[in-house]
Amino acid sequence: MPVAPLSRRRSAALACLALGLSTALLSGCALLEGPQPETPERTEAPAPETAPEFVPGGTAEENLPYFTEVLRTFSAGAEPVQGAPIVQAVADAGFDRSAMQVSYDQSKTNLPADNIFVSVRIGSDCLIGQVVAEDRSFVARNEPAVGPSGDICLIGETAPIG
């Protein structure tokens, strides 16, 4: 009968190990609980009182109100939030398609993009827009171009524009 005490010791050791592991795992869960960060509420930019106009040959700063209105109009529409329709809307508004960059419609894991970035380089500045797929909200900004030659608006690989 010497086997029985060894068996009891093993059972007791396994029970202690299981208890220790469950305590560690459950206390780890407690670390995940606690205050959750709050996502700021998106506020929609107010529509301008007078419709902005495209300034041919104008600077990015001069054309930012018009670019913003183009994205506002697109966001209010029913076109899918994808690169081609956004580029088409910006090009139809008078911006130079050859000066544009746009992000991809899908991630590298073939998931739909959460948002699409579009840009238009005007001189050494960029009009950069973002349209969010989930709620069709948008943001438009004027930022300096980047890169060694100062001719890039969106960093990283961008989708081809046809």
User: Residue 123: CB partners within 8 Å, gap ≥ 6?
Assistant: 59, 60
Lowest pLDDT segment from 1-10, 134-143, 151-160: 1-10
pLDDT at 8: 67
Burial 4-20 (b: 16+ CB within 10 A, else e): eeeeeeeeeeeeeeeee
Query: CA-to-CA distance for 77 and 71, rounded, in angstroms?
Result: 10
Does residue 32 have a pLDDT over 90?
Answer: no
pTM of the prediction? Answer: 0.72
Average pLDDT rounded to a whole number, residues 88-101: 98
Summarize the confidence of residues 54-82 as an average pLDDT. Answer: 97
CB 69 within 8 A of CB 133: no
